[in-house]
Amino acid sequence: MAATIRDVARAAGVSPSTVSRALASSELVNPVTRERVQQAAVRLGYRPNRAARGLITGRTGNLGLIVPDLANPFFPSIVKGIQARARQLDYAVFLADSDEDATAEPGLVRALAKQVDGMVLCSPRMSETDLLAVSDETTLVLVNRRVGALPALTLDNAGGMRQAIAHMQALRHVRVAWVGGPRDSWSNRERRRALRAATATAGMDLVDIGNFAPRYEGGVAAADLVAAAGVTAVIAYNDLMALGVLSRLRARGIAVPDQISVVGTDDIPLSGMASPALTTVALPKEAAGRQSVDLLMSVLHEGDDAAPARRELPTQLLVRDSTGVAPPQP
């Protein structure tokens, strides 16, 4: 059906090898011939079969991407960034959504491994063991997680939490609740740890409400526990949960931020639209996507003899309307 390199060769009156060289624009071919070949190629609408090329070059021109849940607005932003950068570099992107099922992820990696030059794993829930096991099936780059010596692009979770706590302290909050996300999530542990340290330094109390699903419903479920915890402020693992908390507190007639201040993490698009608009630790999501691709490329080109590829992006507290001065304590 579609034109192959042979068709072009025939049309241009040369051999397939010459076509290949002419289109790779290597200087090994006579300019006149090259011109003729190129014209024949466009005339026939020839596009090289990347699979066949990959077979011999070993490079597919594809990359894989695994996210736990595309319905969480955090991920589409990252995917967009990855997608955009990959397109610039003429890479195509395989996307897989594991639906928050950690046990499915190794299978997804393996299924894609042969068809890609490398993969970006976004906050995989996979165990470290599984992760290291699949890491030699293909080149991996981790986003928002750090395991062993694997290349990783992280976000400054700790810095974000410190900013949030500094903000709380400035607003004279003393007792703060933490609404955790999935227990086995790396960034969840990271944020919790940073929060522990920051509150201790600031002489504040941190009340750990527990772990909840990283979704709106999880926040709703946590809200009543927050209300009962005797805190004047709450920090949630992510914005979806913070919005859930917000909604439930409102439903119960608890004023935000007058009675309780709420802080999220991620800065998903909805956060600014909520009322009150959510104060949140903004993560550079699209940038993270783009840079994870760049990181992957650098690992791919340098080989594995280079230093462990790591990059960390800064985070920034975005103060909006859901935080305010702590109410006077009884």
Q: Is the peptide bond before 182 cis (omega within 30 degrees of 0)?
A: no
Give how far Cα 152 sits from Cα of 11, 155, 185, Å.
48, 10, 15
Instruction: Give all strands of the β-sheet with 316-318 in edge-to-edge order.
Output: 205-211, 175-180, 233-236, 261-266, 279-282, 316-318
CB of 118 or CB of 244, closer to a copy of itself: 244
Which C-beta is closer to DNA: that of 49 or that of 201?
A: 49
Distance CA 234, CA 246 (A): 10
**Residue 4 or residue 247: which is nearer to DNA going by CB?**
4
Q: Is 207 helix (H, G, I), strand (E, B) or coil?
A: strand
How far the first Cα of the chain sits from its last, in Å, is 80
Binding flags for a copy of itself, 63-92, as an x/- string (CB under 8 A):
--x----xx-x-xxx-xx--xx--x----x
Whether 326 and 232 have beta carbons less than 8 Å apart is answered as: yes
Specify which residues 153 forms β-bridges with. Answer: 143, 311
> With binding defined as CB under 7 A, does residue 17 bind DNA?
yes
What would the two tokens of residue 220 be? 């709703």
Stretch that binds a copy of itself, among 43-51, 172-180, 190-198, 253-261 (CB under 8 A): 43-51
Task: Provide DSSP, 270-321.
Answer: GGGTSSSPPEEEE--HHHHHHHHHHHHHHHHHHGGGSPPPEEEE--EEE--S
* Smaller CB separation from DNA, 53 or 250: 53
Q: In the range 21-50, which residues lie near DNA by CB under 7 A?
A: 21, 23-24, 27-34, 46-49
Amino acid in the structure at residue 181: G
Contact stretch for DNA (CB under 7 A) within 16-24, 73-81, 218-226, 305-313? 16-24
Q: Tell me how far apart the alpha carbons of residues 273 and 103 are, in angstroms, rounded to a whole number.
A: 35
- From the list 25, 42, 43, 55, which residue makes contact with DNA (rule: CB under 7 A)? 55
Using the rule CB under 8 A, is 8 a contact of a copy of itself? no
Q: Which is nearer to DNA, 55 or 273 (CB)?
A: 55
Using CA atoms, how far apart are residues 263 and 278, in angstroms rounded to an integer?
Answer: 7
Tell me the per-residue interface mask from 111 to 130 with a copy of itself, x by CB under 8 A, - otherwise: xxxxx---------------
Q: What is the 3-state secondary structure (H, E, C) of 161-203?
A: HHHHHHHHHHCCCCEEEEEECCCCCHHHHHHHHHHHHHHHHHC
Residue from 71, 117, 58, 121 nearest 92 by CA: 117
Instruction: List the single partner that 57 binds among a copy of itself, DNA, none, CB under 5 to 8 Å by kind.
Output: DNA
Shortest Cβ distance from residue 29 to DNA (Å)? 4
DSSP H or E segment with residue 102: none
From residue 56 to residue 85, the character string flagging contacts with DNA as x (rule: CB under 7 A) and all else as - is xx----------------------------
- 281-320 residues near a copy of itself, rule: CB under 8 A: none
Report the nearest approach of a copy of itself to the CB of residue 132 (Å). Answer: 15
Q: Rule CB under 8 A: which residues touch a copy of itself? A: 2, 47, 49-52, 54-55, 60, 62, 65, 70-71, 73, 75-77, 79-80, 83-84, 87, 92-97, 99, 108, 110-115, 137, 216, 243-244, 247, 250, 269-270, 273-275
Q: Rule CB under 7 A: which residues touch DNA? A: 4-6, 13-21, 23-24, 27-34, 46-49, 52-53, 55-57
